[in-house]
Amino acid sequence: MRATPLSHSVGEGQAVRANTPHSPFPTPHSPLIALLFYEPSTRTRGAFEQACVLLGYHPLVITASASSIQKGESLADTVRTLCAQGVSAIALRHPQAGSAQLASRFSSVPVLNAGDGAHEHPTQALLDLYTLWEQFGKPDPETRWLEGRKIAIVGDIRHSRVARSNLTLLTQYGAQVWLCAPPTLLPDTPLPNAYLTHDIRQALEGAEVVMTLRLQIERMQQGLLTSLSAYRRDYQINAERLRNVHPNCMVMHPGPIQRGIEISDEVADSVASLILRQVQNGVYARLACLEWALGH
Ligand code: NCD
């Protein structure tokens, strides 16, 4: 793949192998990769854990609720501590935008961004791109193989790192990306190369892919969402809404899905749904990213 959206969060020149000089243990030992998660996660964390094991590493899982982060330890000190414990890489999920980049400044090993606030979620975009690449018949990856295809991302765009990373990556392959949300859930700042709308019919018209997003209530200030039933009425991706979109329209969702809100049961469980395929591809995407970061 041409794109390297992880590069901004991996410290320069820090791709190191297992059994590095950082390790305090005599070799051979089971090398470690830290999964440092300050926010809840099922798919991303699970996929990183599986990828670690498949690569022969032991995942050292640190969650904010059960670590010294609760006692006020800074991100910098937690990262320094993990490096002193001999980890070969760190996958970081954090509620603040820019945290992966910040962590890489204090880390002697590569830091992979597993989601930083509403900013970026590069491994999610890679797995989504890979899923589409499979669905479109594995075209030459060196070409702009999404050229002429319309992709609508619908939901809480304002708080979505998934939407931002997908916009960056999918447009590099030529996709026309539409971002659709109620006016209060569209971003304040302009997003390059995006078509923004609050009109769902305009967003869906001719779309070959519809990616729907969860309402991130935990990141919302009060007043951004007028009512859940109005949201469901105006923006839910359901069979009725997809009827005249595109004959082969595919539906994606990064998860977790909230059935009956942003997506109906019938669509989530339909043949058009790629949701579980995305989950499977999540393991491959993290495997590839870890291999690349570790310099294998
Ligand atoms: C997303 C995330 O955490 O950004 N999920 C994921 O990683 N698969 C989206 C969300 O939380 O709604």
Asked whether the whole model's pTM tops 0.75, one would answer: yes
Phi, psi of 88 (to 5 degrees): -95, -20
> Is 124 a pocket residue for ligand 1 (Cβ < 6 Å)?
yes
Q: Specify the pLDDT at position 30.
A: 77
pLDDT at 187 over 80: yes
User: Which residue bears the tokens 């992966």?
Assistant: 100
CA of 63 to the centre of ligand 1 (A): 16
> Is 282 a pocket residue for ligand 1 (Cβ < 6 Å)?
no
Q: Specify the pLDDT at position 18.
A: 41
Q: Specify the pLDDT at position 247.
A: 86
> Is 43 a pocket residue for ligand 1 (Cβ < 6 Å)?
yes
Assign 50 a pLDDT band (cuts: 50, 70, 90): very high
Quick one: what percent of the chain has pLDDT higher than 90? Answer: 80
> Which tens digits make up the pLDDT trace of 73-130?
999 999 999 999 999 999 999 999 999 999 999 999 999 999 999 999 999 999 999 9
* All residues at 6 or more sequence positions from 284 whose CB lies less than 8 Å from its CB, including other chains: 127, 130
How does the average pLDDT of the chain come out, rounded?
Answer: 91
> Which tens digits make up the pLDDT trace of 23-35?
566 555 679 999 9
> Is 44 a pocket residue for ligand 1 (Cβ < 6 Å)?
yes
The rounded distance, in Å, linking the Cα atoms of 238 and 90 is: 39
- Name the nearest CA neighbour of 95 among 161, 38, 156, 159: 38
Q: Specify the pLDDT at position 236.
A: 98
Assign 3 a pLDDT band (cuts: 50, 70, 90): very low
The rounded distance, in Å, linking the Cα atoms of 120 and 98 is: 9
Catalytic residues: 43-44, 71, 93, 121
Count of residues making up the chain: 296
> Which tens digits make up the pLDDT trace of 116-172?
999 999 999 999 999 999 999 999 999 999 999 999 999 999 999 999 999 999 999
pLDDT at 257 over 80: yes
CA of 19 to the centre of ligand 1 (A): 32
Residue 293 in contact with residue 6, Cβ under 8 Å? yes
